[in-house]
Amino acid sequence: MGKPTGFLEYARRGNPCLPPQERVKHYHEFHPPLSREERQRQGARCMACGVPFCQSGAVLGGMVSGCPLHNLVPEWNDLVYRGRFSHALERLLKTNSFPEFTGRVCPALCEAACTCGLNGEAVTIRDNELGVIEDAWASGLMSPHPPRSRSGKRVAVVGSGPAGLACAQRLNRRGHSVTVFERADRPGGLLMYGIPNMKLEKSVLRRRLALMEAEGVEFRTGVDVGRDLTAEELRDGFDAVALCCGAAQPRDLDVPGRAGEGVWFAVDFLKESTRTLLDGGPEQDGRPSARGKSVVIVGGGDTGNDCVGTCIRQGCKSVVQLEMMPKAPDRRADGNPWPEWPRVCKTDYGQQEAIALFGRDPRLYETTVSRLVRDGAGKLTGVETVRLGAEGPLAGTEETLPCQMLLIAAGFLGPQAYVPEAFGLARTARSTVQTEQGGYATALPGVFAAGDMRRGQSLVVWAIREGQEAAREIDGFLMGFSG
């Protein structure tokens, strides 16, 4: 490494963050970048550790530690330190199709495995990754590079989320003609409608989509494969089909009072909130809005946190987030050593904003919904909760919270059934599409599956890896080999 003592000389410094009271006034990203000079110092903190756990993507203690894409982290951190950003870009793009996405929304599995984190603070790997790719966009390095020749093979990619986009990009660059089908009115899938704008500005997504179009990828929106277009029509028109439809079947609540207005799945709430923003607002009739309402969110994960931040920006009266599990420790437990993923309590941006605005953490741990309270007209007025113990609900712990909007962010059960059914594909016990062991091919020749549809609900970084690997397998199917 160019600066072997950098981790001793420079303190960790992440991208700054606008204060909650300021950033809740808008839907823009709120992490302005560091200067190039400071970014180089952060790159210098990457030590010559010998064994770069950061790029391992290994399963330790039942969870993945290190980058699933096996990003060449020490190499491009060294190049960042030396100010050779264009060379750092080359190393970064070898493994990651979309660093501008992972640099914003990935939970940084790499940093959890960073050797500097053993006795100090990890290198700002995710921020450095984002700095490299954003420098490239600003410098004009991200120009279209269409393939020099075409193979004559046509591939249909169903779904334009991170897995579908990664698959389409790699196949197009191998010379195949790729058409991406998206049922929504805009391409991007989860990246467009599942992740709020303040977390992933949609202009970032649009510029990548425009680059892919300039390289030859065709996007067809408003086409719902399995309904508007049959499996037979798709297979007849293309040499291979990649199903990358995600795991969009949300887990529901089965409690008294569930039926009726005022209840939304988180994925629908976030989608309609983003659609309203992109359409120029204001909120339209029939679209959910938290304005002036007491909101209860069921689910303590990233999606629940995104709902907290969105509700605050919409002007909610209050917000509470219910979490069935106990609160994680604030520091690593003895049984959770480095370089395992740290099972510690994380207070994310939405929760930070709720604390700043309402004076308390919105999360209630070991708590679930027992019933919904409605008035004589059927309107939602409250949520009755109950505390959970080792044996289940604890009698006498019932509490009624005011609530005019309930958001269900309790995870997903797998892909919606109609697409696998349209292709006659087998499902696993987890409702995901069944593929060959260790591969992406289904039992139907020429049909492949990747991303959350195959793996189950997961991270954007895993979806990108799945899309990239599926593209390689499809390329081999079409050509007999893959480079």
Q: Is 58 exposed, middle or buried (0-12, 13-18, 19+ CB in 10 A)?
A: middle
Structure tokens at 480: 């007999």
In whole angstroms, give the CA distance from residue 163 to residue 465: 7
**Segment holding 299, helix H or strand E:** none
Coil, strand, or helix at residue 219? strand
The pLDDT tens digits for 336-364 are 999 999 999 999 999 999 999 999 999 99
Q: Is the dihedral of CA 195, 199, 203, 204 positive or negative?
A: negative
- CA atoms within a 13 Å half-sphere pointing along the CA-CB vector of 385: 23
Evaluate if residue 389 carries a pLDDT over 70.
yes
β-bridge partners, 249: 414
Coil, strand, or helix at residue 393? strand
- Which amino acid, residue 399? E
Find the length of the chain: 483
Block residue for tokens 């209840």: 263
β-bridge partners, 428: none
**Ramachandran assignment for 108, one of left (phi > 0), alpha (psi -120 to 50 degrees), beta (any other):** left
> Superfamily assignment of 154-248+413-479 in CATH?
FAD/NAD(P)-binding domain (3.50.50.60)
**C-alpha distance from residue 217 to each of 177, 180, 457 (Å):** 7, 7, 26
**Where are the chain's structural domains?**
6-138, 154-248+413-479, 252-410
Q: Is 376 exposed, middle or buried (0-12, 13-18, 19+ CB in 10 A)?
A: exposed
Evaluate if residue 481 carries a pLDDT over 90.
no
The pLDDT tens digits for 149-199 are 999 999 999 999 999 999 999 999 999 999 999 999 999 999 999 999 999
**Segment holding 430, helix H or strand E:** none
Average of pLDDT values for 248-267? 96
Q: What is the pLDDT of residue 314?
A: 96
Torsions phi, psi for 241 (to 5 deg): -130, 130
Between residues 3 and 424, the one the model is more confident about:
424
Domains 6-138 and 154-248+413-479 share a fold: no
> Superfamily assignment of 252-410 in CATH?
FAD/NAD(P)-binding domain (3.50.50.60)
Structure tokens at 33: 């970048």
Q: What is the pLDDT of residue 286?
A: 77
Please list, in sequence order, all residues whose beta carbon lies within 8 angstroms of the beta carbon of residue 441, skipping any fewer than 6 positions away.
435, 447, 448, 473, 477
User: To the nearest whole number, what is the mean pLDDT of the chain?
Assistant: 96
Q: Is 437 exposed, middle or buried (0-12, 13-18, 19+ CB in 10 A)?
A: exposed
The answer to whether the peptide bond before residue 282 is cis (omega within 30 degrees of 0) is yes
Question: DSSP strand E in 348-389: where?
Answer: 363-365, 367-374, 380-389
In whole angstroms, give the CA distance from residue 212 to residue 168: 9
Evaluate if residue 1 carries a pLDDT over 70.
no
C-beta neighbour count of 297 within 10 angstroms = 30
**Which residue in 295, 299, 293 sits closest to 367, CA to CA?**
299
The pLDDT tens digits for 22-77 are 999 999 999 999 999 999 999 999 988 889 999 999 999 999 999 999 999 999 99
C-beta neighbour count of 431 within 10 angstroms = 17
Q: Is 359 exposed, middle or buried (0-12, 13-18, 19+ CB in 10 A)?
A: exposed
Structure tokens at 275: 């659609």
Evaluate if residue 285 carries a pLDDT over 80.
no
Domain 6-138 class, CATH top level = mainly alpha
Coil, strand, or helix at residue 272? helix
In whole angstroms, give the CA distance from residue 408 to residue 108: 26
Q: What is the pLDDT of residue 140?
A: 97
What are the b/e assignments for 150-172, b being 16+ CB within 10 Å? Answer: ebebbbbbbbbbbbbbbbbbbbb
Average of pLDDT values for 365-388? 97
Contact 317, 292 (CB under 8 A): yes
Q: Where are the alpha helices (DSSP H) in 106-239?
A: 109-112, 116-119, 125-138, 162-173, 202-214, 231-237
Q: What is the pLDDT of residue 475?
A: 98
pTM: 0.96
Q: Where are the alpha helices (DSSP H) in 279-429?
A: 302-314, 349-358, 418-423
In whole angstroms, give the CA distance from residue 80 to residue 88: 6
Contact 437, 329 (CB under 8 A): no
Instruction: Please report the DSSP string for 226-254 in residue order.
Output: TTTB-HHHHHHH-SEEEE-----EEPP--
Q: What is the pLDDT of residue 262?
A: 97
Coil, strand, or helix at residue 294? strand
The pLDDT tens digits for 75-134 are 999 999 999 999 999 999 999 999 999 999 999 999 999 999 998 999 999 999 999 999
Structure tokens at 437: 């062991």
